[in-house]
Amino acid sequence: MKRRCISLYSGGLDSILVVKMLQEQGVEVVPISFFTPFYGSLAMRDPEAVKAFHRERYGIDIFPTDFTREMIRILASPRHGFGKHLNPCVDCKIGMIKTAASLMPDYGATFVATGEVLGQRPMSQRRDTMNVIVNETGLKDILLRPLCAKLMAPTLPERQGVVDREKLGSISGRGRKDQLALARRYGIDPENIPTPAGGCLLTYEATAARVRMTFERFRPGLPSPDDVMLDVVGRKFILDPRTVLVVSRDEGETELVSTLASPGNMFLKIADVPGPLCIVRGDMTGENLANAASICLRYGRARGTTGHKAVYGPDPNALVDAVDAPVLSDEACRSFQIDSET
């Protein structure tokens, strides 16, 4: 059995430790870092920067991998349901492990490793759920959880001596003491220890509400990756059942919105005063165009004034078409907004 595996790498401490533990035993590890608009989204915008960060800070060469389309399919009908909001944790884990397993021939890997810890998370890391994950991924004998391996049945890599079971972990529960000790052992500066990688935006009520509405708009079909990307940035407005407007809130979001050029997206901003960059997906004509311009003006520095024009087009760096931007009351603007943020 080859001494090479694929690991699921979130960038959290547990996934880092898995790589270090296996490398210490001479296993060549291929860390696959899945990203979607809901987690790992920086890798969507600048994968090379993310790769450089993990190489320089932790000495780990990661492989960013887009999981968005699969995540959309999971969100449409998760077999194991949702957590508190719209987080399908068990189905997401199963999907990622299956995808990692499908990549094994490409990398010459013989098993998959994850950073799961028995009892750490109430939904996806109970013993019964972890057994369900093993069964539904079809990796019964080649799915290794190094941090808690000694609390689980021995896997094929352990039985064949590819990894030494005695050098694996027996960590359980929600505490971090054992992980922090391992981090120091592997030379990871305590000041740079990442927080637990639980930052999925689907666990937040506001994002869940946006995504739920997006899926409702597209039923019985599915939204595209471009559609769900608009659920995690800026202020969001519904101009009609098939048309959404997103307004950037700061310079960082303006930069992010400017990267979202794709078929079906149109950009808009007020021509003569500083203000947000807006993106419209859907019907950018007639009343929708006028309302989009008015909402954009509402969030610019010329709020409440008259005589302004909006410029728009498919390229955020070449907005040439112009339209009047009439003043719209705050109440009218809020009538289009899908969340309570002003």
Domain containing residue 55: CATH number: 3.40.50.620
Residue 210 in any domain: the answer is no
Q: What strands lie across the sheet with 63-66, from one edge to the other?
A: 63-66, 28-35, 4-8, 111-113, 143-144
Same domain, 44 and 171: yes
- pLDDT score at 267: 96
Largest CA distance in the chain: 76
Same domain, 139 and 263: no
- Contact status, residue 253 vs residue 233, Cβ threshold 8 Å: yes
Residue 141: DSSP 8-state: T
Mean pLDDT of 296-316: 84
User: 291 pLDDT exceeds 70?
Assistant: yes
**Residue 341: pLDDT band with limits 50, 70, 90:** low
Residue 220 in any domain: the answer is no
Residue 144 in any domain: the answer is yes
- pLDDT score at 194: 63
Partner residues linked to 39 by β-bridges: 36
Partner residues linked to 217 by β-bridges: none
Same domain, 15 and 145: yes
Structure tokens given for 234: 């800026």
- Residue 318, classified by CB atoms within 10 Å of its CB into exposed (0-12), middle (13-18) or buried (19+), is exposed
Mean of per-residue pLDDT scores for the chain: 90
**Per-residue pLDDT tens for 15-45?**
999 999 999 999 999 999 999 999 988 888 8
- pLDDT score at 196: 52
Residue that finishes a domain, picked among 200, 223, 253: 200
Residue that finishes a domain, picked among 200, 220, 255: 200
Strands (E), the chain: 4-8, 28-35, 63-66, 111-113, 143-144, 235-240, 243-247, 265-270, 278-281, 309-313, 321-324
Number of domains in the chain: 2
- Residue 317, classified by CB atoms within 10 Å of its CB into exposed (0-12), middle (13-18) or buried (19+), is exposed
Measure the CA–CA gap between 236 and 248, rounded to whole angstroms.
Answer: 9
Same domain, 238 and 196: no
User: 109 pLDDT exceeds 90?
Assistant: yes
Give the residue numbers spanning the domain of 261. Answer: 233-336
Residue 257 in any domain: the answer is yes
**Per-residue pLDDT tens for 175-228?**
889 999 999 999 988 677 766 545 799 999 999 999 999 999 888 999 999 899
Same domain, 263 and 196: no
Query: Measured in whole angstroms, how far is the alpha carbon of residue 160 from the centre of its chain?
Result: 36
- pLDDT score at 342: 45
Closest by Cα among 66, 20, 44 to 259: 44
Residue that wins the pLDDT comparison between 323 and 300: 323
- pLDDT score at 204: 92
Partner residues linked to 310 by β-bridges: 270, 323
Mean pLDDT of 255-269: 88
Pairing mode of beta strands 111-113, 4-8? parallel
- pLDDT score at 340: 53
Residue 125 in any domain: the answer is yes
Residue that wins the pLDDT comparison between 246 and 259: 246
Same domain, 268 and 185: no
Residue 205 in any domain: the answer is no
Same domain, 237 and 196: no
Residue 108 in any domain: the answer is yes
Same domain, 194 and 248: no
Mean pLDDT of 268-284: 90
- pLDDT score at 190: 65
**Per-residue pLDDT tens for 120-175?**
877 778 888 999 999 999 998 999 999 999 999 999 999 999 999 999 999 999 88
Same domain, 129 and 34: yes
What is the number of other CB atoms lying within 10 angstroms of the CB of residue 309? 14
Same domain, 191 and 241: no
**Per-residue pLDDT tens for 68-100?**
999 999 999 999 999 889 999 999 999 999 999
Same domain, 172 and 291: no
- pLDDT score at 192: 76
Same domain, 189 and 279: no
- Contact status, residue 47 vs residue 4, Cβ threshold 8 Å: no
Residue 277 in any domain: the answer is yes
Query: What separation in angstroms does the CA of 223 have from each of 41, 69, 212, 318?
Result: 18, 9, 11, 27
**Residue 50: pLDDT band with limits 50, 70, 90:** very high
Mean pLDDT of 301-325: 86
